[in-house]
Amino acid sequence: MIRGCIAVEDTICDGCHQTIHYPKRYLITDEDDKVMRFCVECAKEKGYAHYLEEKDGKALTFLPEVELM
């Protein structure tokens, strides 16, 4: 399962190990009972997230239905 979250406190990205500061968005996955947190850049790199063009700028959209296998 994949969830998009807002960092309520500083969180470490499990991909690039950079700190995700409040109130940035990040992604949680829990594959194989292992919870992983990814910053937006890593989420995009892994194909978990993409940007949709909107009238007032870019809106980040996570893809919870993405096929992981």
Find the binding residues for Zn ion in span 35-64 (CB under 5 A).
Answer: 39, 42
* Binding residue for Zn ion, selected from 4, 5, 7, 15, defined by CB under 5 A: 15
- The answer for residues whose C-beta is within 8 angstroms of residue 11's C-beta and 6 or more apart is 19, 20, 26, 37
CB of 45 to Zn ion, least distance (A): 8
Q: Which is nearer to Zn ion, 16 or 35 (CB)?
A: 16
CB of 66 to Zn ion, least distance (A): 17
* Closest CA relative to residue 7, chosen from 30, 27, 19, 23: 23
